[in-house]
Amino acid sequence: RANWSRAVAIVDEFREAFQTPMPLLKHVVDAMVAEMHAGLVREGGSKLTMLLSFVDSLPTGDEHGLYYALDLGGTNFRVLRLQLGGKNGRILNKEYQEVSIPPDLMIGSNEELFDFIAQRLGDFVAQEGEDYNPHGKIRELGFTFSFPVNQTSINSGHLLKWTKGFAIAETVGKDVVSELQTAMVRQGLQMRVAALVNDTVATLAGARYWNKDVMVAVILGTGTNACYVEHADSIPKWRSALPKSGDMVINMEWGNFWSNYLPKTQIDEALDKDSVNPGEQGFEKLFSGMYLGDIVRRALLKLAKEAALFGERVPSKLSLPFILRTPDVSAMHTDESSDLEETSRVLSSVFGIKSSSLQVRRLIVEVCEIVAERGARLAAAGIVGILRKIEGDCVANGVANGEVGKVNLANGELGKLIGNNKVNGRKTVVAIDGGLYEHYPKFRNCVDSTITELLGKDAAKDVIVQLFKDGSGIGAAFLAASHSLYR
Ligand code: ADP
Ligand code: MG
């Protein structure tokens, strides 16, 4: 028999430990701003690495010509071709293909992997129909490579480490663009890699092609990351010549953000300790799709052990790491049926728990809500931190130029700050991509409403948060265009 009062007490403790009241979120916003500054000042200045993307010219919609993209980020890669027709024509033609990577290649040799990719890309190029026309120019490619890379120019960067199941020691430290280029030569494919970017930056570029007010892109998927458009002269750690545009996209690598204001529970500590990268990616571990499910599993395991929630015997599957996935959490959290059928189904199919009372299922749905809400609210605070960094700098510059009236930066009143700064009445758009945001409506709604709550209703009118799907491929093709030899 479940010890019901103990179970309720444990969930009360969770609610307390996972809570994210407004004052806490405001501290997180402040911490994000402070860490962004610190990471821009010098290499190693913050857990936020604030990597330079070398993207200094974002798509405008004027781009013309034939461009390719290659998106490598997980078990599949996608190839894409676009024929762009400028402001009026926009995307004249578009085709893509998804190729799964044989698992043995993910842990094989460097040459085999890149040969495979180049070969499949070559096959795709060979199928180019009459709707596409390179106009006698060398074909150009945007390469979305969503692994940590130390970028050295718009089209070169050295692999720092593989993640997500790839393990090919030879590649580490190598320039992934020249690896791809030499593989293309071996395959007899003539093509120039014009841009190397990660998925966050590609998403920003993809959204920017349609809307010049996009300043921030956030990935809320298996992992989480963000990038934004920074003034090149606000990056003290950058000592080279300033780009003509005056702007530089910064890949924050915000999954590794940390602040002591973040609510870290015993569950989070255990999850981190058991992970393959303890002490790293602290922000990501609080809410990205890879981890939300396991946080809930750990909470349920505690309820099973300490309150016999599922009977005297603790169901053994509850102890298996990552067996509960975030889509399952979403399914339970979103369960609207009167007897919580969907929750029964998940309990049965995932944990082999064949029967449970409605009362128990209600408690489980509440655990999902507690965990997901904390995550969504923290993600929102991170986004507002970026907005404030952007707006704060604008205000500071504006004041110096005498454009903006008195704004007291020290009063901490975010809403006012952002509201006052809107001298030109333009909106700031945040583009979000990723399965967590796209497919988990309660998570998405909570992110959106928390951003509004943090900004205040008035200032929130100047900020648009929008889902921008699949920007990681198309954005890279746009960037190949905006960094083309033939610009
Ligand atoms: P990636 O981040 O690997 O590029 P996606 O952006 O497609 O991939 O996101 C996939 C992730 O989104 C999954 O790992 C999962 O955590 C999350 N996800 C997918 N579907 C759902 C869902 N229905 N509810 C909640 N999360 C989901
Ligand atoms: Mg992705």
The answer to whether the CB of 442 is under 6 A from ligand 1 is no
Residue whose Cα lies nearest atom 12 of ligand 1: it is 435
User: Is pLDDT above 60 for 424?
Assistant: no
User: Is pLDDT above 60 for 237?
Assistant: yes
Instruction: Report the candidate in 152, 82, 50, 68 with the shortest Cα–Cα distance to residue 117.
Output: 68
**Amino acid 177: pLDDT:** 98
User: Is pLDDT above 60 for 135?
Assistant: yes
The answer to whether the CB of 222 is under 6 A from ligand 1 is yes
The answer to whether the CB of 255 is under 6 A from ligand 1 is no
pTM of the complete model: 0.91
pLDDT tens by residue, 361-412: 999 999 999 999 999 999 999 999 999 999 886 655 544 443 333 333 333 3
The answer to whether the CB of 221 is under 6 A from ligand 1 is yes
The answer to whether the CB of 473 is under 6 A from ligand 1 is no
β-pairing, 214-220 vs 64-72, is: unpaired
Per-residue exposure over 105-118, b if at least 16 CB sit within 10 Å of its own CB, e if not = bbeeebeebbbbbb
- Considering every ligand atom shown, identify the ligand nearest to the alpha carbon of residue 433 and give its number: 1
Coil, strand or helix: which one is 303? helix
Residue 203 near residue 431 (C-beta atoms within 8 A): yes
Instruction: Report the candidate in 231, 234, 235, 236 with the shortest Cα–Cα distance to residue 246.
Output: 231
pLDDT tens by residue, 32-46: 999 999 999 999 999
The answer to whether the CB of 293 is under 6 A from ligand 1 is no
Residue whose Cα lies nearest atom 14 of ligand 1: it is 222
The answer to whether the CB of 147 is under 6 A from ligand 1 is no
Ligand 1 centroid to Cα of residue 443, in Å, is 12
Number of the ligand 1 atom closest to the C-alpha atom of 74: 3
The answer to whether the CB of 439 is under 6 A from ligand 1 is yes
- Considering every ligand atom shown, identify the ligand nearest to the alpha carbon of residue 74 and give its number: 1
Q: Can you tell me the distance from the alpha carbon of 411 to that of 390, in angstroms, rounded to the nearest whole number?
A: 17
**Amino acid 163: pLDDT:** 79
What residue spans define the domains of the chain? 1-51+207-469, 54-197
Residue 144 pLDDT class (50, 70, 90 cuts)? very high
Q: Can you tell me the distance from the alpha carbon of 411 to that of 431, in angstroms, rounded to the nearest whole number?
A: 28
pLDDT tens by residue, 99-130: 999 999 999 999 999 999 999 999 999 999 99
Give, in words, the CATH class of 1-51+207-469: alpha beta
The contacts of residue 229 (CB under 8 Å, 6+ apart) are 58, 204, 215, 216, 247, 248, 249, 250, 390
Mean pLDDT of 293-297: 98
The answer to whether the CB of 440 is under 6 A from ligand 1 is yes
**Amino acid 412: pLDDT:** 35
Q: How many helices (H) and strands (E) does the chain have?
A: 18, 13
Q: What angle do CA 22, 23, 24 make, to 5 degrees?
A: 90
Domain 54-197 has CATH 3.30.420.40: yes
Ligand 1 centroid to Cα of residue 485, in Å, is 36
pLDDT tens by residue, 250-273: 999 999 999 999 999 999 999 999
Q: Is the ipTM of this complex over 0.90?
A: yes
Ligand 2 centroid to Cα of residue 469, in Å, is 9
Amino acid code (one letter) for 339 = D
Element (H, E) at 162: none
Going edge to edge, which strands form the sheet with 139-145?
A: 91-100, 76-85, 64-72, 139-145, 191-197
To test the pocket of ligand 1, the residue of 224, 324, 325, 439 to mutate (highest count of ligand atoms within 8 Å of its CB) is 439
**Amino acid 414: pLDDT:** 39
Mean pLDDT of 442-460: 97
Q: Can you tell me the distance from the alpha carbon of 465 to that of 458, in angstroms, rounded to the nearest whole number?
A: 15
**Amino acid 421: pLDDT:** 42
